[in-house]
């Protein structure tokens, strides 16, 4: 693994560890340091192809309005599902509520007690018996009301393990157990149908940071092209042999199928996309040698992706999901300030349109 990939993934894990249930997506455009800008000009351009293949559906076709009674019944069903997947949960702490505006509706359970004997014993070892530092595993859990699937789980951040603690699960074992967890949550039939569509990325964070964790990410693809955000993240505890964080960002498969209608074969090559970017930069800064360099920060970058940003997919009148080149670059000034500074450009792989670019006083979105 290259150093930049390692840095980015480790930053993700560190953020989750420090902030408990706060989650940062490694594919978000602001996941790498970006130079500060003094002024911003906004430039918005239409999607030419969408006029030809405008979808006939939206997320509302798959998430119906429910009465108060129906919502109450679905919340009870969600409780049963949580107890099935997480048998250590104290049922008396399951107090769920309906949240309409979070991409799509979700049932949310905060302050859920999911404390096991193993969890408490492990804390005692790591805190060397300091009772004031030992606390219950209080989690946040979210459920998709239509599928009934758990889509988010995050418990308390554990203190770092001791070197002498036994890692009971290998990285390969963590991958297998993560897949089994997904099957348990979403059903064997779902995984068997989608198995060939998933690209699985795994990282042994423990070998680099000594945190006792592995990160497993299942990236969804369509026609061999990876979605930028349609994925499942699992943080697996190699010592306790449990899932410590689960975040299912997979969108409704029928919705995605209805929106992914464009050709997976680009009309614009990657090199042509870079030429379009550099032409825009030269037009904006004609008297400066920017010395543009390209960086691969993550497995999906500088390659073809489906641009499935949540606000686009869950729009009331969505456009077809674009095929894009995701290109990360830096200029000489950025590298002089910090060698890690970089910013992404998103280029439509069919039309050559710059979909997103945030560089100095350029803001295209």
**Which has the closest alpha carbon to 45: 359, 351, 278?**
351
Stated pTM of the model: 0.79
> Can you name the residues that pair with 218 across neighbouring β-strands?
200, 232
**For 187-198, how does the pLDDT look when each residue is reduced to its tens digit (9 = 90+)?**
988 888 888 889
Give how far Cα 257 sits from Cα of 47, 57, 175, 194, 198, Å: 19, 11, 27, 13, 15
Parallel/antiparallel/unpaired status of strands 150-154 and 138-143: antiparallel
Assigned token pair, 153: 């789980």
Cα separation, 352 vs 365, whole angstroms:
14
Cα separation, 146 vs 158, whole angstroms:
32
**For 10-47, how does the pLDDT look when each residue is reduced to its tens digit (9 = 90+)?**
344 444 444 455 444 444 443 344 443 333 333 444 44
Long-range CB contact pairs, 272-276, < 8 A, 24+: 272/352, 273/325, 273/327, 273/347, 273/349, 273/352, 274/327, 276/347, 276/352, 276/354
| Contact (Cβ atoms closer than 8 angstroms) between residue 310 and residue 103 | yes
**For 129-169, how does the pLDDT look when each residue is reduced to its tens digit (9 = 90+)?**
788 788 899 999 999 999 999 999 999 988 889 888 999 99
Beta strands in the chain (DSSP E): 41-43, 96-99, 106-113, 138-143, 150-154, 198-203, 213-222, 225-237, 242-248, 293-294, 303-307, 322-330, 343-348, 354-359, 362-364
Question: Residue 12 — φ and ψ, nearest 5°?
Answer: -60, -50
Give how far Cα 354 sits from Cα of 4, 55, 263, 274, 278, Å: 25, 22, 18, 10, 11
Q: What angle do CA 259, 264, 270 make, to 5 degrees?
A: 125
Q: Write down the mean pLDDT value for the chain.
A: 85
**For 253-308, how does the pLDDT look when each residue is reduced to its tens digit (9 = 90+)?**
889 999 999 999 999 999 999 999 999 999 999 999 999 999 886 655 558 999 99
Assigned token pair, 64: 């119906």
| Contact (Cβ atoms closer than 8 angstroms) between residue 168 and residue 239 | yes
Cα separation, 81 vs 75, whole angstroms:
10
Q: What is the full DSSP assignment across 345-360? A: EEEETTT--EEEEEET
Q: Given a cut of 90, is residue 178 above it in pLDDT?
A: yes
């Amino acid at each position: 693994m290259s150093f930049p990939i390692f840095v980015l993934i480790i930053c993700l894990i560190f953020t989750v560890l420090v902030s408990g249930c706060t989650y940062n997506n490694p594919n978000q455009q602001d996941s790498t340091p970006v130079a500060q800008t003094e002024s911003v000009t906004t430039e918005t351009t239409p999607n030419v192809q969408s006029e030809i293949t405008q979808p006939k559906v939206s997320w509302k076709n798959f998430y119906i309005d429910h009465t108060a009674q129906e919502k109450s019944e679905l919340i009870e069903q969600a409780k049963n599902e949580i107890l099935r997947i997480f048998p250590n949960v104290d049922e008396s702490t399951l107090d769920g509520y309906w949240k309409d505006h979070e991409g799509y509706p979700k049932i949310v359970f905060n302050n859920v007690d999911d404390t096991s004997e193993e969890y408490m014993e492990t804390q005692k070892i790591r805190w060397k018996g300091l009772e004031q530092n030992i606390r219950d595993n209080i989690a946040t859990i979210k459920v998709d009301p239509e599928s009934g699937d758990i889509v988010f789980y995050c418990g308390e951040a554990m203190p770092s393990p001791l070197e002498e603690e036994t890692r009971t699960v290998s990285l390969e074992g963590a991958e297998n157990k993560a897949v089994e967890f997904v099957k348990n949550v979403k059903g064997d039939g779902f995984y068997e149908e989608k198995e060939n569509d998933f690209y699985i990325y795994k990282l042994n964070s423990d070998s680099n940071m000594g945190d006792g964790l592995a990160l497993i990410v299942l990236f969804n693809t369509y026609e061999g092209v990876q979605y930028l955000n349609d994925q499942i993240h699992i943080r697996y505890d190699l010592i306790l042999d449990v899932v410590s964080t689960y975040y299912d960002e997979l969108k409704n498969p029928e919705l995605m199928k209805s929106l992914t209608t464009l050709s997976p074969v680009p009309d614009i090559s990657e090199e042509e996309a870079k030429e379009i970017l550099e032409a825009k930069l030269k037009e904006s800064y004609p008297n400066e040698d920017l010395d543009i360099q390209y960086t691969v920060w993550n497995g999906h970058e500088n390659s073809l992706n489906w641009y499935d940003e949540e606000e686009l997919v869950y729009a009331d009148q969505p456009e077809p999901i674009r095929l894009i080149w995701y290109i990360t670059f830096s200029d000489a000034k950025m590298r002089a300030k910090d060698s890690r500074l970089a910013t992404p450009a998103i280029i439509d792989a069919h039309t050559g349109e710059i979909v997103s670019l945030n560089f100095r006083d350029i803001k295209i979105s």
